[in-house]
Structure 1
Amino acid sequence: MRLRNSLFPGVLITFLLFTACQSTVKESGTLLIYGGNIYTVDDTQPMVEAVAVKGNTILFAGSLSEAEQYKNDQTQLLDLNGKTMTPGLIEGHGHFMGLGYNELNLDLSNTSSYQEIVDAVAERVKTTAPGEWITGRGWHQSKWKEMPSEMVNGFQTHDLLSAVSPDNPVYLGHASGHAGFANAKAMEIAGLMGLAKEGINKFEVEGGEVMRDAMGSPTGIFNELAQNLITKHIPENTPIKNVQAFEMAVAACHRNGITGFQDAGIGRETIALYEEMKAKDKMKIRLYGMLTGGDKELLNEWYKKGPMIDPDNLLTIRSVKLNCDGALGSRGAWLLESYTDRPGHFGHETLPMNFVEETALNGLQNGFQVCSHAIGDRANREVLDRYESAFIALPQLATNHRFRIEHAQHLHPEDIPRFAQLKVIPAMQAIHMSSDRSWAIDRLGEKRIKEGAYMWQSLLKSGIPIVNGTDVPVEPLNPIASLYASVTRKTLQGTPDGGYEPGEKMTREQALRSYTLDAAYGAFEEDIKGSITVGKLADFTIYDQDLMKVAEEKLLNTEIAMTIFDGEIVYTMGE
């Protein structure tokens, strides 16, 4: 009995030591990343030496010595070799299938004159059967280095285009997506040629404009809702082309370090395509879809069944996109005062404001975020007014609404603080300032530009985050260009010295947050992505240089070296 009792303490100590050792054994990671500058966008530890990943989840972020405890023989080691890593970048406002189709159709985003557009179409005609439509997108007359001799309301006319494409209907979307350019054959199919002397009822479109010359004939430019006069005649895309465009869009995201994409306006067919791609394991991107507000039947269906929040974090639908005005370039943005370069013209209200309020109420009652496109100062004010009315009507449902205004490009100074007061998130694409500011002053004049255009720092200081992005295919997907614009407020050519309205620049930290954690917040996803934090998804973007410290004049040269999605390397530069 004595012997047994004397042995018990030793056995107990041995057991406790064994248990203690077992409890300190760490989980093993599938991937260990180290050897570079790792910016976490996590305020508790802004930079770390290493990150351990298990499957698609961040297991550890901290010192290299601690991270090595998560390593075993099967752990993949990734030495950054001095490169820089951040959380995976999120495109905060773009058009995913537009990105894909821009790769399939005529991409006119780099054209610098009307003649280049004509030449591109003439080349495409050579390989296109007579009668087949030629479509494309990306031209922007305000960015041309030379202007055609014949113009109406600041736009080209169709004559040169029609001359090179007599047997093919052609429709070329403006970069903004808010206007389009048709040739004679396309207008003939639409029944719009020869109407100048017949009464012009077909030219009258509420919320849009068919531009006409002094003789009353259409010039080929169709603004805002008038585009439907042409586009309704363009054959629908085939299922095969849709899949091709989807796959090309995914690949483009990976090349650009984009792991999340907020898709601004999708309809029934696109949703079905996305669900098919997910079922076939082709959804190698995290899509946050906004239902198109143009389909009321679709909205009502979703209001009844509620948001779709994907447990796999690949395809989530919990918001509605409304198009409330046009674009500044096409003079479709809805203004409080008329355009400086077109007196008497105020742009277009492209959606009744009572529908905005109705949608805001429906959104609050059914759990949907509302995201309204508004570029002009009047459109922004009207949308804020309608949101506010809904919040007052349903205060108990408006505590965490995260309603957004997409673009928020030109604001009346009195409306700037209202975003923070109402907790409305501005989703602003910094690259628009870089591309548009040099000519936007012609539209708005100096006073309105300086007091209310691209007011990033003013909005941030008011206490509201900004969601960044490119509005692709309006602008190229390249996030580096948008980050450069965010912190320099310069054109991509590096002008002017000091940047436009330099007081509104973002800091580099603010710019990175706008593409990561703040973008995730704008989609209710800050708990699963947007920072390199234990427990979040293992999505990372790796750059060939330190974009947080490199000299400003070299920032634009930064390239995406690698993209990691769901814990797997999906893109490596040069491979």
Structure 2
Amino acid sequence: MKRLFLLCLCLASYVSHAHFTVVHNVKGYTPTRSGEIAQFSTLVIKDGKVVKTGNADTLKQYPQSTVIDGQGLTMLPGLIDAHGHVIGLGENLSRLDLRHTKSVSEVGQRLKQYAKNNPTGWIIGRGWDQTKWTPSQFPTAQDLDKYVSDRPVVLTRVDGHAIWVNSKAMALANISNDVTTPEGGEILRLADGAPSGLFIDKAEPLILNHVPERTSTQLNNALDKAASHLLSLGITSVHDAGIDEATWRLYKNRSAQQSMPLRVYAMLSASDPNLKNMLKSGIVKEQTDYLTIRSVKIYADGALGSRGAALLKDYKDRPGHRGLMLEQQPALEALIRLSVKHGFSAHTHAIGDRANRIVLDSYQTVFKETGGKLLRNRVEHAQIVDTDDIPRFKSLKIIPSMQPVHATSDMHMAQQRLRESQLTGAYAWQTFLKHGIKVAAGSDFPVELANPFDGLYAAITRMDKAQKPKGGWRNTEKLSREQALTAFTLDAAYAAFQEFKIGSLEHGKWADFILIDRDYFQVEEAQLHNIQVQQTWIAGKPKYKRN
């Protein structure tokens, strides 16, 4: 009888341990909820979740487990991008890419070649930035007509806040000299008053409403293409900043089919005409945490590059102009109120210091009248904030969702656009942290490249990839390696109510992790952006492996 009991005990032990996966021989680092960075060499997984981290002796405790040799690679928690545009990224990967173009003529040559390779339909592209050109000025429809005049062309500026179109696109959209500029938008005009071909912020729909709608197949392909790219970069979860109804349906369908390719925390777009219906459908949160929809993306102002960011004082390089508020305070308050009444967080895009102040005022008013202060509401970007307003983020419990790579991309342009007094609270990550405010970090892809190691490098150095300016731009705002990693993991998870689910490799959390080719904490700063992801895992299952 005793032998039978011992045999049963051994079998039970064998069956139990057979469900464990142990990844060992790694240089592991994880943020923890206590605020420390824990180190380990072994990770134990069961049912897709972390059982424990430990050292070489930990492996001996699980003799019948599935053992994976990490080959001395560095392990980090799966990285979280707290602000991106998933479908936009997927579409961009197959559309005309104008990033890093240095002139109108270079854009034209790429356009001409793309039109040849894609001979029918509207030509859609993105990525141009006139501040990188010589001369640095906005282009016109005629500049595009020289290269393609028989098909409509719509090219979105890198920040998504302006489009450049050719004459054919304006003709199909019935744009005439007497077209009215929508409030919150701007139509740039030629000397004779005719539309130039540049449509900013709320003027964009005058053209975009005429672009053929995407099919279900195209949306699915865009999701899969974007996810494949993001997983290869070590991103296991993304906060999708503003989805329309079609994408909302796509995500819900893919979640029901259990075919979401990575974790998505999606924000409903406040500009979608069916917002109220989506809110009435309620919060989406499924057990595997692959899909969460519990927030609304609201748009307060434009972007700095197109001079649409709303400022308290005039632009240094455009006297008399203070940017564009896409929604005035009463409308912002109404949208925030609508969100919180349905239990949804309100995440509001605000780049300029005037926009940030108005948004904070709007939150304050709604919290007093309606509540919702504990919903982890956010300001997306919080790029230029008056220093008097930074402490208000703490008192109002507002999370700044910031993109470190914006600082190194924008630094030259920002100094042209802004005065020193306006720059004091610009890209002020360290100042926010010193006020006890968590910062959720992301990239704003496809505005910027999605690679999170570009963002970590920018956060830690505040230099471009040529290591300029020496010592970093406005370097008192630099983050430590620990702070930067936490912003891209645990604090990003907190900003989505997921800090007990993901963001660190602690007991009971999903085993989302990456293996990288260099030690993040030991590699030279100049090499941080060159780190390569070798493997990406979600819930204890491999999702990407570098060939």
TM range (shorter): over 0.9
| 1:552 positional shift | 1.0
Query: Which residue number in structure 1 is paired with residue 47 of structure 2?
Result: 55
Q: Does 1:463 align with 2:436?
A: yes
1:24-65 per-position Cα deviation (integer Å, ceiling 9, x unaligned): 886444422121210121246711120011231112211221
Q: With the length of structure 2 as denominator, give the TM-score of the two structures.
A: 0.95
Query: Which residue number in structure 1 is paired with residue 93 of structure 2?
Result: 103
Q: Does 1:404 align with 2:394?
A: no
Q: Does 1:564 align with 2:541?
A: no
For residue 262 of structure 1, give the secondary structure of its aligned residue in structure 2.
strand
Query: Which residue number in structure 1 is paired with residue 304 of structure 2?
Result: 328
For residue 401 of structure 1, give the secondary structure of its aligned residue in structure 2.
coil
Aligned counterpart for 2:131 among listed residues 142, 154, 157: 142
For 1:20 and 1:250, locate their aligned partners in 2 and report how far apart those are by CA, in whole Å: 44
1:80-102 per-position Cα deviation (integer Å, ceiling 9, x unaligned): 22221111011100001001000
1:527-547 per-position Cα deviation (integer Å, ceiling 9, x unaligned): 100000111101112211011
Matched ranges for 1:121-520 at <5 A: 121-129=111-119, 132-144=121-133, 146-147=134-135, 154-193=137-176, 195=177, 200=178, 202-295=179-272, 297-298=274-275, 300-395=276-371, 397-398=372-373, 400-449=374-423, 451-520=424-493
| 1:16 positional shift | 11
For residue 90 of structure 1, give the secondary structure of its aligned residue in structure 2.
strand
**Contact 1:60/1:67 (<8 A) preserved:** no
For 1:19 and 1:569, locate their aligned partners in 2 and report how far apart those are by CA, in whole Å: 33
- Relative to structure 1, the CA distance from residue 275 to residue 394 in structure 2 (aligned partners, 3 Å threshold; closer, same or farther) is closer
| 1:20 positional shift | 9.4
Two-structure CA RMSD over aligned residues (Å): 2.1
Matched ranges for 1:62-101 at <5 A: 62-72=54-64, 75-101=65-91
Q: Does 1:525 align with 2:498?
A: yes
**Contact 1:135/1:171 (<8 A) preserved:** yes
| 1:306 positional shift | 2.6
Q: Does 1:41 align with 2:31?
A: yes
- Relative to structure 1, the CA distance from residue 87 to residue 334 in structure 2 (aligned partners, 3 Å threshold; closer, same or farther) is same
| 1:440 positional shift | 0.7
Q: Which structure has the greater CA radius of gyration?
A: 1
Q: Kindly tell me the number of residue pairs found equivalent between the two proteins.
A: 544
For residue 414 of structure 1, give the secondary structure of its aligned residue in structure 2.
coil
For 1:54 and 1:190, locate their aligned partners in 2 and report how far apart those are by CA, in whole Å: 56
For 2:11 and 2:256, locate their aligned partners in 1 and report how far apart those are by CA, in whole Å: 40
More divergent stretch after superposition (61-70 vs 457-466) = 61-70
Return the letter of the residue paired with 2:105. Answer: Q
For 1:251 and 1:51, locate their aligned partners in 2 and report how far apart those are by CA, in whole Å: 25
For 2:328 and 2:270, locate their aligned partners in 1 and report how far apart those are by CA, in whole Å: 12
For 2:281 and 2:259, locate their aligned partners in 1 and report how far apart those are by CA, in whole Å: 26
Unaligned runs of 5+ in 2: none
**Contact 1:363/1:370 (<8 A) preserved:** yes
- Relative to structure 1, the CA distance from residue 322 to residue 494 in structure 2 (aligned partners, 3 Å threshold; closer, same or farther) is same
For 1:401 and 1:526, locate their aligned partners in 2 and report how far apart those are by CA, in whole Å: 14
Unaligned runs of 5+ in 1: 1-10, 149-153
For residue 220 of structure 2, give the secondary structure of its aligned residue in structure 1.
helix
- Relative to structure 1, the CA distance from residue 265 to residue 84 in structure 2 (aligned partners, 3 Å threshold; closer, same or farther) is same
For residue 419 of structure 2, give the secondary structure of its aligned residue in structure 1.
helix
The share of aligned pairs that are identical, in percent, is 40
- Relative to structure 1, the CA distance from residue 20 to residue 165 in structure 2 (aligned partners, 3 Å threshold; closer, same or farther) is closer
| 1:207 positional shift | 0.7
Q: With the length of structure 1 as denominator, give the TM-score of the two structures.
A: 0.90
**Contact 1:61/1:67 (<8 A) preserved:** no
**Contact 1:118/1:161 (<8 A) preserved:** yes
| 1:361 positional shift | 2.5
For 1:81 and 1:502, locate their aligned partners in 2 and report how far apart those are by CA, in whole Å: 36
For residue 70 of structure 1, give the secondary structure of its aligned residue in structure 2.
coil
| 1:67 positional shift | 3.4
For residue 280 of structure 2, give the secondary structure of its aligned residue in structure 1.
helix
For residue 496 of structure 1, give the secondary structure of its aligned residue in structure 2.
coil
For 2:412 and 2:21, locate their aligned partners in 1 and report how far apart those are by CA, in whole Å: 46
For residue 384 of structure 1, give the secondary structure of its aligned residue in structure 2.
helix
